[in-house]
Chains A and B, each alone.
Chain A
């Protein structure tokens, strides 16, 4: 017996040693650690339709996942040098702080308290979301102000309930929150009439509506009751790494603005526009300043496409989610998506 135990303990220790990985030794060295590892460790949502989900072959797809792939292309020149680490809402920040991942690209709302007190930094916003409300059109409700004594179906999200309270309380609107742990139950409760109102971020609401047997029976109310700017997150005090993440996102945005696409990026190398030349690494040393190859932005665009292409591929009107660009349109087309200049 004791012999057997000794063996088992020895094996256990060996297994433990086997799986101890080196994480970045100091905060400054994320890029160095990534290079050494040969992979970017990217924290994503376990499953979020359109943002991070599995296709039939079990490959992670989605808007958030492609941001990680763009980063991998910028650093390594290939989109597949990413290990996706699924992190739930309640463990995501600890996952980043403890060095389990290099960045979060998982529908995280940028807020004051998160930025200042959690030891984190936010990259540029990649998706402007906001909490919305959907009701059955037969109720004849046109705005949130007409809601009263209604049952509201919610998921136990981070701020969903608080936003609801913040919005309804000063307006003296009485409501009853019905909480569901499982999204399928939550949706079906609304469709079956258990609740009058269903609320979550507008991007989710659109997909809930798309699932309904007859989407025309439901209407999303015009009010957006909270601001939810979603942005990638990195650890504080690693300026170089934050720059890399931020400017990779900016490059995707700028590429759409300048009309550079996955398809025409090779032709654009011959462009006479000095800004495009600098961005794609034809002229100047922008890549070197990030400690990357000068082709970093070219590689990201070549592999993944520009911001608009990412959006259309995973969230846009041709996908089952069917989102319109809305505030996620470029700044010069009436939206909020804007990249600082490359110079």
Chain B
């Protein structure tokens, strides 16, 4: 039967459907684009995306300037990305004001640190030895960065900056913040009123003010309270501020996990004759922490990015070295977006890494209670 014949047979039946101009291509596309209005919106968006992608591609690649100096880039007047800027400033962006000839030291420290991180992410290697490994790594990194031993020249913390500083502030902040947070969470759900009140006051006070104000307290007010002749390193002050802040946030998340552990588990532990610490360590905390992995990773990613706030107290973290690179009078106003793109890429890579690891670890630990045997 041809189409016309079919139409003829259909014509004998009174058609009550609203008439609509149908053509074969429209019928074919209808499920994808919907009503004419939706179709217009869809095509407009597609066109926009096409323009954005081709525009970005042109700027990033085809029209980009690959060789030359500030003058070449200035002559191009922003038509294409100025990659020589990144090439000239790459080491400064990564290492900041750390002495140029000593850049191998923070480089090794960062690699060691990342290596230890990857190593301890693999479940097969989880054991008590990891603690010793980390102690060794932290001490080695400290010696490498600060120097003063084995003929390494001393590099004061005022010259630290860039990526090593960001890593240090966020990882040390989160590691110690995690310990502090778990202790605070336990204290807050404690049955002893004094301990509970202290924990509540601490958590609420820290959470009640922004990180910026805690950093200011640490960097501006604390030195004025110190006795004459004693100054605590500015970096250490900022680090402690971050630990305290992270601790308060992590505490509340962990407390949520503690509340989710059924009361029966506490009672079972007690009936086995386990004391408080043992029952917490062996029964309650492992279950509580498993539940809160997603919100914890959320906090971790957030804090990794929040450490950029230290720039307001004059520490040059990674984002700030990128910005400083743009302020070199030779390059000023010529390359702006290039630096930010680089910074965004670095942050995205690490945040994505943390996110995917958390998904992996969740699957591995099977946090879902329904899978367990009851």
Provide a sorted-by-A list of 16 A–B residue pairs whose CB atoms are within 8 angstroms: A1-B277, A4-B131, A16-B232, A22-B229, A49-B328, A55-B328, A58-B91, A58-B96, A58-B98, A59-B97, A86-B314, A90-B312, A91-B314, A94-B220, A98-B231, A184-B333
Contact present for B332 and A320 (CB under 8 Å): yes
Q: Which of A7, A41, A91 has the most CB of B within 10 A?
A: A91
Kindly identify, within residues 9 to 27 of chain A, every residue whose CB is under 8 Å from any CB belonging to chain B: 11-12, 15-16, 18-26
Kindly identify, within residues 217 to 275 of chain B, every residue whose CB is under 8 Å from any CB belonging to chain A: 219-220, 223-224, 226, 228-236
Interface membership of chain B positions 89-102, coded 1 if the CB is closer than 8 angstroms to chain A and 0 otherwise = 10110011111100
CB of A293 within 8 A of chain B?
no
Contact residues in A for B323 (Cβ distance below 8 Å):
47
Contact residues in B for A47 (Cβ distance below 8 Å):
323-324, 327
Task: Kindly report which residue of chain A lies nearest to residue B74, judged by CB atoms.
Answer: A213
Contact residues in B for A16 (Cβ distance below 8 Å):
232, 236
In the assembled complex, the Cα of A319 lies from the Cα of B332 at a distance in Å of 12
CB of A139 within 8 A of chain B?
no
Determine how close the nearest CB of chain A comes to the CB of B84; give it in whole angstroms: 11
Of B42-50, B151-159, B299-307, which binds chain A?
B151-159
CB of A201 within 8 A of chain B?
no
Contact present for B97 and A54 (CB under 8 Å): yes
Contact residues in A for B157 (Cβ distance below 8 Å):
19
- Which residue of the partner chain, among A21, A187, A320, contacts B330 with CB atoms under 8 Å? A320
CB of A277 within 8 A of chain B?
no
Given the interface contacts A24-B229, A83-B159, does A1 sit within 8 Å of B281 by beta carbon? yes
In the assembled complex, the Cα of A60 lies from the Cα of B150 at a distance in Å of 27
Contact present for A8 and B179 (CB under 8 Å): yes
Given the interface contacts A57-B92, A58-B96, does A25 sit within 8 Å of B314 by beta carbon? no
CB of A48 within 8 A of chain B?
yes
Contact present for A19 and B236 (CB under 8 Å): yes
Interface membership of chain B positions 298-340, coded 1 if the CB is closer than 8 angstroms to chain A and 0 otherwise = 0000000000000111111000110111111110111010000
Determine how close the nearest CB of chain A comes to the CB of B229; give it in whole angstroms: 5
Contact residues in A for B327 (Cβ distance below 8 Å):
47-49, 53, 183
CB of B121 within 8 A of chain A?
no
In the assembled complex, the Cα of A184 lies from the Cα of B340 at a distance in Å of 12
Contact present for A184 and B314 (CB under 8 Å): no
CB of B176 within 8 A of chain A?
yes
Contact residues in B for A11 (Cβ distance below 8 Å):
135, 138
Contact present for A54 and B328 (CB under 8 Å): yes
Given the interface contacts A47-B323, A211-B333, does A12 sit within 8 Å of B231 by beta carbon? no
CB of A130 within 8 A of chain B?
no
Contact present for B91 and A8 (CB under 8 Å): no
Kindly identify, within residues 77 to 93 of chain A, every residue whose CB is under 8 Å from any CB belonging to chain B: 83-88, 90-91
Determine how close the nearest CB of chain B comes to the CB of A231; give it in whole angstroms: 20
Contact present for B179 and A5 (CB under 8 Å): yes
CB of B193 within 8 A of chain A?
no
Given the interface contacts A8-B176, A58-B95, does A94 sit within 8 Å of B223 by beta carbon? yes
Contact residues in A for B53 (Cβ distance below 8 Å):
none
Given the interface contacts A54-B97, A56-B88, A86-B316, does A99 sit within 8 Å of B277 by beta carbon? no
Determine how close the nearest CB of chain B comes to the CB of A25; give it in whole angstroms: 5
CB of B353 within 8 A of chain A?
no
Contact residues in A for B111 (Cβ distance below 8 Å):
none
In the assembled complex, the Cα of A320 lies from the Cα of B159 at a distance in Å of 26
Contact present for B100 and A59 (CB under 8 Å): yes
In the assembled complex, the Cα of A25 lies from the Cα of B230 at a distance in Å of 8
Contact residues in B for A20 (Cβ distance below 8 Å):
230-233
Task: Kindly report which residue of chain B lies nearest to residue A321, judged by CB atoms.
Answer: B329
Contact present for A88 and B314 (CB under 8 Å): yes
CB of A236 within 8 A of chain B?
no
In the assembled complex, the Cα of A187 lies from the Cα of B179 at a distance in Å of 45
In the assembled complex, the Cα of A56 lies from the Cα of B92 at a distance in Å of 7
Contact residues in B for A54 (Cβ distance below 8 Å):
92, 96-97, 321, 324-325, 328
CB of B114 within 8 A of chain A?
no
In the assembled complex, the Cα of A99 lies from the Cα of B315 at a distance in Å of 17
Interface membership of chain A positions 294-323, coded 1 if the CB is closer than 8 angstroms to chain B and 0 otherwise = 000000000000000000000000011100
Contact residues in A for B58 (Cβ distance below 8 Å):
none
Top-3 shortest CB links A-B:
A211-B333, A98-B223, A19-B233
Contact residues in A for B326 (Cβ distance below 8 Å):
184
Contact residues in A for B345 (Cβ distance below 8 Å):
none
CB of A50 within 8 A of chain B?
yes
Q: Which of A56, A59, A87 has the most CB of B within 10 A?
A: A56
Contact present for B324 and A97 (CB under 8 Å): no
In the assembled complex, the Cα of A28 lies from the Cα of B321 at a distance in Å of 36
Contact residues in B for A5 (Cβ distance below 8 Å):
179, 183
Q: Which of A53, A59, A90 has the most CB of B within 10 A?
A: A53
Contact residues in B for A7 (Cβ distance below 8 Å):
131, 135
- Which residue of the partner chain, among B229, B236, B281, contacts A23 with CB atoms under 8 Å? B229
In the assembled complex, the Cα of A207 lies from the Cα of B323 at a distance in Å of 17
Contact present for A83 and B158 (CB under 8 Å): yes
- Which residue of the partner chain, among B91, B226, B320, B329, contacts A53 with CB atoms under 8 Å? B329
Kindly identify, within residues 22 to 54 of chain A, every residue whose CB is under 8 Å from any CB belonging to chain B: 22-26, 41, 46-50, 53-54
Contact present for A84 and B158 (CB under 8 Å): yes
Q: Which of B96, B228, B277 has the most CB of A within 10 A?
A: B228
Contact present for A207 and B329 (CB under 8 Å): yes
CB of A285 within 8 A of chain B?
no
CB of A149 within 8 A of chain B?
no
Determine how close the nearest CB of chain B comes to the CB of A241; give it in whole angstroms: 16
Kindly identify, within residues 274 to 297 of chain B, every residue whose CB is under 8 Å from any CB belonging to chain A: 277, 281
Q: Which of B156, B176, B315, B320 has the most CB of A within 10 A?
A: B156
Interface membership of chain A positions 218-229, coded 1 if the CB is closer than 8 angstroms to chain B and 0 otherwise = 000000000000
Determine how close the nearest CB of chain A comes to the CB of B209; give it in whole angstroms: 17
CB of B133 within 8 A of chain A?
no
Kindly identify, within residues 160 to 186 of chain A, every residue whose CB is under 8 Å from any CB belonging to chain B: 183-184
CB of A256 within 8 A of chain B?
no
Task: Kindly report which residue of chain A lies nearest to residue B92, judged by CB atoms.
Answer: A58
Task: Kindly report which residue of chain B lies nearest to residue A39, judged by CB atoms.
Answer: B156
CB of A116 within 8 A of chain B?
no
Contact residues in B for A94 (Cβ distance below 8 Å):
220, 223-224
CB of A192 within 8 A of chain B?
no
In the assembled complex, the Cα of A210 lies from the Cα of B316 at a distance in Å of 26
